[in-house]
Amino acid sequence: MPTQRRDFLGWLGGSSLFALGAAPLSVVSFAERGRSGHGPAIDDKFDVSWADKVQGRYRAVFDSPEISEGAALFRAMIWCDEYKAVYGTARTEMSPVLVVRHEAIHLAMNDEYWKRFKVGKEVKLKTPEGKKWAEANPIRVSPPGTPEKFARYNLETFMREGGIALACGLAFADVVGKFKEADKLDDVAARQRAIEHIIPGVILQPSGVFAVLRAQEAGCKYMMAS
């Protein structure tokens, strides 16, 4: 388990946030809180505006703690396609949310990151031919030879069609650590370097737990998609 997560409980116990006598958060009216019960975000470090875009009649969050060859993305997209085939549901009525967390954090990263850090070998993922370790993110775009029926099933198309892709900030610390060690950077510079390698459109969240539960508060049904 990475150091940051391993030390989490110890940090929680000593955090001043939970200390007796800590100042209460400011109170906002019920109207300001809206359906989820939350007031406006008081910290702009993370973009949480995506939750307001979950407006489809049908809503689901696909939780991906493992890479699983991109199964979570596949299930999110096939859900939309099958509702259209069975009910004639327009894509605009569907609100799929994909959360990559834990070991699946690499799915949020671009091909350059995958190749440089030999992610395919690390996670034991080979190319579709099964002969070499994957050197590119397997879900960013559809690889050559993908059956026409599933050619759209990739992350860039998912987001272009209105899907929301979220990444765990806690797991992202492991990505930052790779750049920090490889490029001899301090924490701030390493984090910025890592952010530059996130696939455009993927939104970093405080944690995967935060992302999944916030999506459920926005009306999403939950599906474990490992």
CATH of the domain at 55: 3.40.1260.10
Residue 132, pLDDT score: 93
Q: For residue 101, is it within any domain?
A: yes
Residue 20: the pLDDT is 37
Q: Quick one: pLDDT at residue 3?
A: 52
Partners of 224 in beta bridges: 63
Whether 2 is covered by a domain: the verdict is no
The answer to the question of residue 23 being in a domain is: no
Measured between its terminal Cα atoms, the distance across the chain in Å is 19
Asked if residue 33 belongs to a domain, the reply is: no
User: Do 72 and 225 meet the contact criterion of CB atoms below 8 Å apart?
Assistant: yes
Nearest to 91 by CA among 63, 58, 62: 58
**Average pLDDT per block of 10 residues along the chain, 226 residues long:** 49 41 41 57 91 97 96 97 98 98 98 97 89 94 86 96 98 98 98 98 98 97 89
Q: Which domain holds residue 94?
A: 47-224
**Domain presence at residue 1:** no
Identify the pLDDT of residue 149. Answer: 86
Residue at 97 is within a domain: yes
Q: Does any domain span residue 115?
A: yes
Which residue in this structure is represented by tokens 């990559």? 100
Residues in the chain: 226
Count the domains in the chain. 1
**Residue 131 in domain:** yes
Give the predicted TM-score (pTM) of the model. 0.83
